Structure 1
Amino acid sequence: MTLTSTNRPGMADEHPAVPILDISEYHDPATKDRFVESLRDACHHVGFLYLTGHGVDHDLSTRVTDVSREFFSRPESVKREIAMVNSPHFRGYTPVGGEMTGGRADVREEIDLGPERPVSHDTDRPWRRLQGPNQWPTSVPDFEPTMTQWGDQMDRLGRTLLDALAEGLEIDVDHFRNWVTPDPETTIKAIRYPAPAADQKPQGVGTHRDFGLLTFVLQDAVGGLQVERANEHYLDIPHLPGSFVVNLGEMLQVATHGYYKATVHRVVSPPAGIERFSTIYFFNPRLDATLNPVELPEHLAAGARGGASDDPSNPILDTYGDNILKVRLRAHPDVAERHHRDLLQSSIR
């Protein structure tokens, strides 16, 4: 496994493959500036990195994987007791083939979790429909407390990294903090990729960019995550023990005029006879947050690419709630048809 780090003295590679950054350096005055610069370079050139030294309890992350495996080992009938199609808030279990990326079914099963909030009856802002309770699997009693505790630790990590990203742009950290204050719209997604047959090459997850701010991936050693580098060439992102894989979302790309990069990536299905597990933490803005653009200093603005979507059928909307609702309606057509039929022909989609 070849990994390249940008935060080690003497490194000369301006465009590293997958940088490895130790965020504990951010808390040390002697190394903070070096970390901030390395993070800025990684997010400008690559949009993906490994994050170590993050302080999230290793045993807790192990339990996250364990409870996920336990849930996915349950009979299909038990898992479907918390089927997402029963939730207008897009929470709960999605069976294999139940989520779409790029118009094709992904070959994975998953459970989606979000902030526990009261149901909103605001009819003027459709994205308020995303607020509501989770569906927790009672068949795995440790699932809810484990995921809740892990989410609390990941929230702190997300806020710290967002501050460091603001400092890298030489702007007031409150510019980014205001997007997630008081509470970000987070999502935890626990995933199982089933073992394919020898003659199958299914789509684990199709090519896409994430749509929020920051994505943290806790992956096992099987592999399958790939990032596009150039000309549709994909680079493997193998497992690095003790780390999270981090990538940036489109909302951060737009707000920084493309200086920070939301990179296309995908997941290929595991080898024949082997299943893969991962748990993802999406750290995103408040639903009502409008991401006011950053005023970059002149020496950074010269390197900004422009952040608008290059897909006219998939514009990036300014208000995060509108953006995520658009994505959810496309990704989960069964939920959209059952609970949000009135939105299917509207401009939100």
Structure 2
Amino acid sequence: MTFLQVPIIDISGLIFQTNNSVDVIAEQIRQALQDYGFFYIVGHGIDEQLQQKLEHLSQQFFAQDVETKLKIRMAIGGKAWRGYFPVGNELTSGKPDLKEGIYFGAELEENHPLVKASIPMHGRNLFPSNIPQFRETVLEYIDSMTQLGHILMAGIALSLGLEKSYFADRYTKDPLRLFRIFNYPPNSLLSKSKWGVGEHTDYGVLTILKQDNVGGLQIKSKSGWIDAPPIPGSFVCNIGDMLDRMTQGLYRSTPHRVQNLSTSHRLSFPFFFDPNFNVEVKPIELKDVVVNDDKSDRWDKASVHEFRGTYGEYLLNKVSKVFPELRQKVIESAE
């Protein structure tokens, strides 16, 4: 078989809970995740005006000079791991990415128990004060993506023959929600790299990606690297290391990368719907599943199945390699 085109799934039946449609969609999700680890979704119901507003405000932010953008730099966000980073400050596989971006998460007040306990990656977001509606738009988008994440995880549970509330009951009733806005500047002939982001896998259970119309995303299918181009009205969904671990390799966290050959700016909006920070992630008892733990096809030669501990521990170990300087300031100072 050849695997050259990421499947497109209409999930409107999941949203409206029409029985026959749910079964069909669950089977489509199962096939897509076994074959690719990725799928597009349409029929998701996310407000188009909200998406356009988010894109427009993001363009406004990144068009500013670096000094202005650094007013909400990640160092100010501290343990909450929020804020702006300039081009080259984020590492993938130890190499600088050709992108800049802003990190967001669930908006938590100072008196929230997790913030008071100084749990990393929890707290207040940093927003530009000079761009009206930026804060409200980002928070509304995070809420919309969270609702969509719950719906998709119910579909993934059904695709595994589980109760639709399986993941919500154990891992995602109060999910760790992480949202990024990335800007890939035009690639210059002076640049030594064509990679906006190098080969990597995501860490959690589900990523929901909004792309602009520029493109550049590539995934490592069983037939080799293939493009996942923008499709109007769609989101790209993929699973992360923790779902790979839970399903014992039945669903793989597929490596992907961004090739930056464009002469214009590219925006991307990945939303990570992840297990609760403090929950221990365990394998699901699935019938007739042979564990697929071949490290050789993973970019980092690591095994997600050998990991023991909470999702927070796994995540902090990963992100500390993405921002090593921030790790020294934030995590090690708390240890």
TM-score (norm 1): 0.86
Pick closer, same or farther for the CA change 1:137–1:179 going to 2, 3 Å. farther
For 1:305, the equivalent position in structure 2 comes to: 292
The code of the aligned residue for 1:62 comes to: Q
Q: Deviation at 1:121?
A: 5.1
Q: In the alignment, is residue 30 of structure 1 matched against residue 25 of structure 2?
A: no
RMSD value, Cα: 2.2
* Counterpart Cα distance in 2 of 1:256 and 1:313: 13
Q: 1:146 aligns with which of 137, 154, 160?
A: 137
Identity %: 33
Post-superposition offset of 1:171: 1.5
Q: Is residue 245–residue 282 contact of structure 2 (8 Å, CA) maintained in 1?
A: no
- Report the counterpart of residue 6 of structure 2 in structure 1: 18
* Equivalent residues of 2:172, 2:274 under 8 A apart: no
Shift of 1:64: 1.2
Secondary structure of 2:202's counterpart equals: coil
**Which residue of the other structure, out of 248, 264, 267, is the alignment partner of 1:257?**
248
Residues 292, 51 of structure 1: alpha-carbon distance in 2 compared, 3 angstrom cutoff:
same
Q: Secondary structure of 1:186's match?
A: strand
Match of 1:320 among 297, 302, 311: 311
1:207-227 CA-to-partner distances (Å, cap 9, x unmatched) read 000000111111111111000
Q: 1:297, CA displacement in angstroms?
A: 2.3
> Number of residues paired by the alignment?
323
Q: Distance in 2 between matches of 1:336 and 1:289?
A: 22
Does residue 212 of structure 1 match 2:199? no
Q: Distance in 2 between matches of 1:316 and 1:69?
A: 39
Matches within 5 A, 1:239-278: 239-271=230-262, 273-278=263-268
Could you tell me which residue of structure 2 aligns to residue 91 of structure 1? Answer: 82
Matches within 5 A, 1:63-212: 63-88=53-78, 89-117=80-108, 118=112, 120=115, 122=117, 128-200=119-191, 201-212=193-204
Deviation of 1:327 after TM superposition, in Å, equals 1.5
| 3-state secondary structure, aligned to 1:260 | coil
The 2-side partners of 1:238 and 1:286 are apart by: 31
Residues of 2 paired with 1:69 and 1:179: CA distance? 38
The separation in 2 between residues aligned to 1:296 and 1:330, in whole angstroms, is: 33
Q: Does 1:331 align with 2:329?
A: no
User: Cα distance 1:220–1:317, how it changes in 2: closer, same or farther (>3 A)?
Assistant: farther
In the alignment, is residue 45 of structure 1 matched against residue 35 of structure 2? yes
Relative to the length of structure 2, the TM-score reads: 0.90
Contact kept? 2:219, 2:225, Cα under 8 Å: yes
Contact kept, 8 Å, 1:44 with 1:261, in 2: the verdict is yes
Deviates more, 1:334-343 or 1:165-174: 334-343
Q: CA deviation at 1:183?
A: 1.7
Question: What is the deviation of 1:334?
Answer: 2.1
Could you tell me which amino acid in structure 2 is paired with residue 24 of structure 1?
Answer: S
What 5-or-longer segments of structure 1 have no aligned partner?
Answer: 1-12
Can you list the C-alpha shifts for 1:33-81, whole angstroms capped at 9, x where unaligned?
Answer: 1111010110111101110000111111111111111111122111100
